[in-house]
Amino acid sequence: MTTVLGALAAPSDAAPTSPVLQVRGLHVEFASRERYVHAVRGIDLSIHRGEAVALVGESGSGKSVTALSLLGLAAKTARITADEFRLAGRDLSGLPDRGWRQIRGSQVGLVLQDALTSLDPLRTVGQEVAEALRAHSGKKSKGTGAQVEALLAEVGFPDPAVRANQYAHQLSGGLRQRALIATALAGNPLLLVADEPTTALDVTVQAQILDLLGRRRDTGTALLLISHDLAVVSQVADRVLVMREGEVVEEGTAAQLLGDPKHPYTKALLRAVPSAATRGQRLSGGETERPGDTLEREATSERRPSADGLTPVLRAVAVSKTFKLSGHRQLRAVVDVDVTVAPGAKVGIVGESGSGKSTLARMLLGLIEPDQGQVEIMGRPWRAADRRERGRLRRAVQFVSQDAASSFDPRYTVEQIVEEPLRSSALSRAERAERVLQALALTHLEPSLLKVVPRNLSGGQRQRVAIARALAMEPEVLVCDEPVSALDVSIQAQILDLLAELNERTGTAIVFISHDIGVVHHLVDDVLVMHRGRIVEQGPVERVFNQPSHPYTQTLLRAVPRLAR
């Protein structure tokens, strides 16, 4: 197995100064019946042995297309041109697919984002790795079994002999990703292309995977990292290329880019990243004065007296929830949790996937009844309320989910979506129409969007509509479950600014649930850290994140990738 680890193929050794990958003027165009898209517009890219280069950009920047082009795997409608395209000194232009097949796996390896779907679910990880090993040895070699285990051990599989017989769905996210990396390393490639390799992972696991990739780079493999997250790539990348709309707008070492960005886009991108340092600041640039300011203030002044400022608007007292799984097993999703949300407060709940935070959110919303404990809304126990009162209490707690698109009835227009919660109220038609306009104004959406259906909105607009709908009820609390995790960083910045602004203006309390420490640190005042269904630590965000006392919180915070300025 030392061969896999150490030695590199001859060509790059012969000319140590020439890069493993040398691409100049790469263009990728897509032409289909409906649209023409010039996805990549003349980028230059060179990667040397043992160098890690990162391509960073938001969705639609062309970074993934670039990655696939390097393996000749861009879609069939793609037209790819380049002034120069060399791998290990060899000119790859005009290469037929047969030629690409020789290169894929053996010279360039690819790691995709979601290992659950990127590994064949009907085959064991051992079979997948073996397939990758065999792809270039030509024949079925006898020693494959041992090679598979060695390779799995190399990427950090505990007990590889047993694990090789497991299927992807039986492994944890981290192990799955390791298995996928093993398949990409099987051919001992000169260049490893990793497209968002850690995006689907929890931060503690993400740190391990980045470490694995970094060590691989140290043994001489050239590494191309594709990511939307500057902080992630700054951990390993020697050089970073910032992409926007198919072009590289800025290039430099990670330290240069992070410390002294030149291009306005890079600056905006960096400014948009929420963290401890950005508390109380706006993340998105521009617009200060907005339509609807006055409209809204009137509404606020009418509303405030309803809360006395003392009773918590939302409180969970020792709530627990256990789910029965098949096979007589159960999952204790939430165990003995207390949450108190004061009027106008911003409370964050942080946890990794499976920590029970979404279940907790659903209990706060009254969508799930807790097995034990109770949820109180404005001091009123949920359980004790009769049907009519429940309706009233429900309206006081509103929900913003991660996936706004799926929270809209596909038949509805923006107007109908925002109006829907009001339809069961006593408001007249005209009053409802006015409320809808107010809510849109609050979320900085143009009234011209009223008749638009959600599929024609951008991701950021959709999330705004979702927030507008929640606000139309004039709730006391907004429960936001991962509201920005599906969004690009610049859009995320706008939504975070919006939430902070709404909290300030309308006094609506916010419960903000997220896996992202930086986002939480930026936005909230008090934070609860959840781990395996329990709250392990809570308190003011500065205290909890600056002097964590619980070991889990400490691990979590250590794992967070930081912009190393």
Partner 1 sequence: MTTSLDATVATRAEPSTVEEAPYEGGRGIALAWLVVRRVLSALLVLWIAVSLTFLAIQLAPGDTVSLLLGENRDDPELRAATIERWGLDQPVWVQYFTYLARIPKGDLGVSYTMRQNVSDLLAEGAGPTITLALTATVVALIIAVLATLINTAPVKGLRAVTSGIQLVILSLPPFWLAILLLTVVSFRWGWFSIIETDSWQALVLPTLALAIPSGFFLTQVLSDGVFRAIEQPFAVSARARGLSPAAVRYRHAVKHAALPVVNLVGLQIGGLLGGAVIVEQIFGRPGLGQLAVNAVIVKDVPLILGVTLVSTAAYVAASTTVDLVAIAIDPRLRTARGGPK
Partner 2 sequence: MTAPVAPVAPVTPTAPVASAAPVAPVIPAETVVPAASVAPAAPDVTGVVPTPDGAARPAPVGAQTAVKSPGRASTKLRSAPAKASRLLGAWLARLQWDLVFALPILAVVALAAIAPGLLTSADPLDGNPRESHLAPSWEHPAGTDLLGRDVLTRVIYGARYSVAIGLGASVVAVLLGLVVGLGSAVAPRWLQQVSDRLIDVLAAFPGLLLAMFLITFTGRGPDNLVLALGFGSLPAYARLIKANASVTLQSGYVEQAKTFGLSKARIVLRHVLPNALGALPIMVTIGLGGAIIGSSALSFLGLGPQPPAAEWGLLLAESRAYLRQAWWSAIYPGIALTAVVVASTVLGQSLQRRYERRDR
- Judged by the rule CB under 8 A, the positions of this chain that interact with partner 2 are 27, 29-33, 35-39, 41-42, 59-62, 64-65, 68-69, 72-85, 92-98, 245-246, 365-367, 390-395, 397-399, 401, 403, 406-411, 420-421, 424, 455, 469, 473
Q: Which of 22, 177, 183, 227 binds partner 1 (CB under 8 A)?
A: 183
Q: Which does 167 bind (CB under 5 to 8 A by kind): partner 2, partner 1, none?
A: partner 1
Smallest CA-to-CA distance from 287 within 439, 400, 445 is with 445
- Residues pairing with 528 in the sheet: 349, 538
Distance separating alpha carbons of residues 539 and 205, to the nearest angstrom? 25
The answer to whether residues 379 and 543 touch, using CB atoms and an 8 Å cutoff, is no
Stretch of 86-94, 163-171, 402-410, 483-491 contacting partner 1, by CB under 8 A: 163-171
Q: Closest approach of Cβ 164 to partner 2, in Å?
A: 28
Asked if 121 is part of the footprint of partner 1 (rule: CB under 8 A), the reply reads: yes
- Residues pairing with 390 in the sheet: none
The tokens for 420 are: 């829907």
> Which C-beta is closer to partner 1: that of 193 or that of 466?
193
Asked if 349 is part of the footprint of partner 1 (rule: CB under 8 A), the reply reads: no
**Residues 78-117 as x/- pattern, contact with partner 1 by CB under 8 A:** -------------------x---xxxxxx-xxx-xxx--x
> Which C-beta is closer to partner 1: that of 125 or that of 489?
125
> Which C-beta is closer to partner 2: that of 77 or that of 219?
77
Smallest CA-to-CA distance from 365 within 337, 339, 393 is with 393
Smallest CA-to-CA distance from 153 within 212, 214, 218 is with 212
Distance separating alpha carbons of residues 253 and 438, to the nearest angstrom? 47
Name residue 526's amino acid. Answer: D
Stretch of 174-182, 226-234, 379-387, 521-529 contacting partner 1, by CB under 8 A: 174-182
Q: Which of 123, 215, 263, 390 binds partner 1 (CB under 8 A)?
A: 123
Under DSSP, is residue 322 helix (H, G, I), strand (E, B) or coil?
A: strand
Q: Which of 4, 9, 95, 135 binds partner 1 (CB under 8 A)?
A: 135
Phi, psi angles (nearest 5°) of residue 87 = -125, 125
> Which C-beta is closer to partner 1: that of 299 or that of 479?
479
> Which C-beta is closer to partner 2: that of 57 or that of 312?
57
Q: Which residues contact 270 (CB under 8 A, 6 or more apart)?
A: 230, 258, 261, 563
Q: Closest approach of Cβ 81 to partner 2, in Å?
A: 5
Q: What is the DSSP letter of 62?
A: S
Q: Which does 410 bind (CB under 5 to 8 A by kind): partner 2, partner 1, none?
A: partner 2
> Which C-beta is closer to partner 1: that of 174 or that of 518?
174
Q: What is the DSSP letter of 454?
A: G
> Which C-beta is closer to partner 2: that of 266 or that of 398?
398
> Which C-beta is closer to partner 1: that of 405 or that of 433?
405
> Which C-beta is closer to partner 1: that of 368 or that of 472?
368
Q: Which of 38, 136, 515, 562 binds partner 1 (CB under 8 A)?
A: 136
Q: Which does 407 bind (CB under 5 to 8 A by kind): partner 1, partner 2, none?
A: partner 2
Smallest CA-to-CA distance from 295 within 447, 452, 423, 494 is with 447
The answer to whether residues 179 and 155 touch, using CB atoms and an 8 Å cutoff, is yes
> Which C-beta is closer to partner 1: that of 39 or that of 184?
184
The answer to whether residues 10 and 24 touch, using CB atoms and an 8 Å cutoff, is no
Q: Which does 121 bind (CB under 5 to 8 A by kind): partner 2, partner 1, none?
A: partner 1
The answer to whether residues 89 and 18 touch, using CB atoms and an 8 Å cutoff, is yes
Asked if 333 is part of the footprint of partner 1 (rule: CB under 8 A), the reply reads: yes
The alpha carbon torsion through 31, 34, 39, 42 (nearest 10 deg) reads 40
Q: Closest approach of Cβ 274 to partner 1, in Å?
A: 25
User: Strand 330-341 to strand 314-324: parallel, antiparallel, or no bridges (unpaired)?
Assistant: antiparallel
> Which C-beta is closer to partner 2: that of 121 or that of 143?
121
Q: Which does 84 bind (CB under 5 to 8 A by kind): partner 2, partner 1, none?
A: partner 2
Distance separating alpha carbons of residues 252 and 258, to the nearest angstrom? 9
Q: Closest approach of Cβ 134 to partner 1, in Å?
A: 9
Burial class of 33 by CB neighbour count within 10 A (0 to 12, 13 to 18, 19+): exposed
Smallest CA-to-CA distance from 469 within 490, 454, 486 is with 454
In the chain, how long is the greatest CA-to-CA distance? 81
Question: Which chain residues interact with partner 1 by CB under 8 A?
Answer: 68, 71, 73, 97, 101-106, 108-110, 112-114, 117-124, 131-132, 135-136, 162, 166-167, 169-175, 180, 183-184, 186-187, 323-327, 329, 331, 333, 353-356, 358-359, 362, 367-368, 532
